[in-house]
Amino acid sequence: MDQCVVDGEQVASQEGNFYGGWITNDIVGPYKGGQGTRGW
């Protein structure tokens, strides 16, 4: 997939290989799934 668009906004995929989500401008991190977030 080259891109994902939600309600007209190009979004970013959530880091990592366990969680599957899309990050929009309205969502504020930190985000679980990236390196160093396993113990949260």
Element spanning 13, H or E: strand 9-13
Using one digit for the tens of pLDDT, what is the confidence trace for 6-39?
999 999 988 888 888 888 999 888 888 888 888 8
Sheet with 22-23: strands ordered across: 4-6, 9-13, 22-23
Which pTM value belongs to this model? Answer: 0.60
